[in-house]
């Protein structure tokens, strides 16, 4: 089996306009992981190389479909990292700055609700001499450093 045949054996090819998901192993980042002469590569980059050749230094392979596992060459294009970031911002996949960033319970990593954060702040202000950040953390299932960041406003910043 040729390297290209081995590559395509791990792809769910469908109609030309649909995503072709990588069915092989996946990097922790969610991108397909392919082997090219025993070197691990991103599957979408290898797909580009199979169809178009070498990727120039400083260039990245962009997904028009925003599907990290897609290796359909029709969904891929070459660009710069700056173009990739602009595309992410335009599509709402990354906030352009602090003012529009998803915050609080809308943040993807949030483990607490706004009500819990308000309760933590209130309890800490009222009982800080008797209730410490470690006790609050144990009660809410988070690290005590998270509690400290909440009460100091480093995270879950209070809006005016």
Report pLDDT digits (tens) over 106-145: 554 567 888 888 888 888 887 766 777 788 888 888 888 8
Residue 22 clears pLDDT 90, i.e. is over it: yes
Predicted local confidence at residue 99, as pLDDT: 42
> Could you tell me the fold of the domain covering 3-98?
Homing Intron 3 (I-Ppo) Encoded Endonuclease; Chain A (3.90.75)
Residue 59 clears pLDDT 60, i.e. is over it: yes
Matching residue, tokens 């990292």: 81
Rounded-to-integer distance, Cα 72 and Cα 6, Å: 16
Rounded-to-integer distance, Cα 59 and Cα 39, Å: 19
Predicted local confidence at residue 49, as pLDDT: 93
**By three-state DSSP, how is residue 123 classified?**
helix
Predicted local confidence at residue 100, as pLDDT: 45
Residue 102 clears pLDDT 80, i.e. is over it: no
Predicted local confidence at residue 158, as pLDDT: 58
What does 27-61 look like in DSSP terms, one character per residue?
-TTS-BEEEETTEEEEHHHHHHHHHH-PPPTT-EE
Instruction: Quickly state the pLDDT bin for 9 (edges 50, 70, 90).
Output: very high
Residue 87 clears pLDDT 70, i.e. is over it: yes
Contact 134, 141 (CB under 8 A): no
Cα distance between the two ends of the chain: 63
Contact 42, 70 (CB under 8 A): no
Residues 50-55, mean pLDDT to the nearest whole number: 93
Residues 27-46, mean pLDDT to the nearest whole number: 90
Locate the domains of the chain by residue range. 3-98, 102-152
Residue 77 clears pLDDT 90, i.e. is over it: yes
Residues 84-90, mean pLDDT to the nearest whole number: 84
């Amino acid at each position: 089996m040729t390297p290209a045949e081995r590559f395509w054996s791990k792809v769910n090819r469908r109609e030309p306009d649909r995503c072709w998901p990588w069915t092989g192993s996946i990097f922790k980042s969610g991108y397909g992981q392919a082997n090219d002469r025993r070197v691990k590569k991103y599957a979408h980059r290898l797909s580009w190389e199979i169809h178009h050749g070498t990727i120039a230094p400083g260039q990245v392979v962009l997904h028009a479909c925003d599907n990290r596992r897609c290796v359909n060459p029709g969904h891929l294009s070459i660009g710069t990292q700056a173009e990739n970031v602009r595309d992410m911002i335009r599509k709402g996949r990354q906030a352009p700055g602090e003012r529009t960033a998803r915050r609080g319970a809308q943040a993807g990593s949030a483990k607490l609700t706004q009500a819990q954060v308000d309760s933590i702040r209130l309890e800490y202000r009222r009982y800080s001499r008797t209730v410490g950040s470690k006790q609050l953390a144990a009660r809410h299932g988070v690290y005590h450093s998270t509690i400290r960041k909440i009460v100091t406003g480093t995270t879950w910043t209070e809006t005016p």
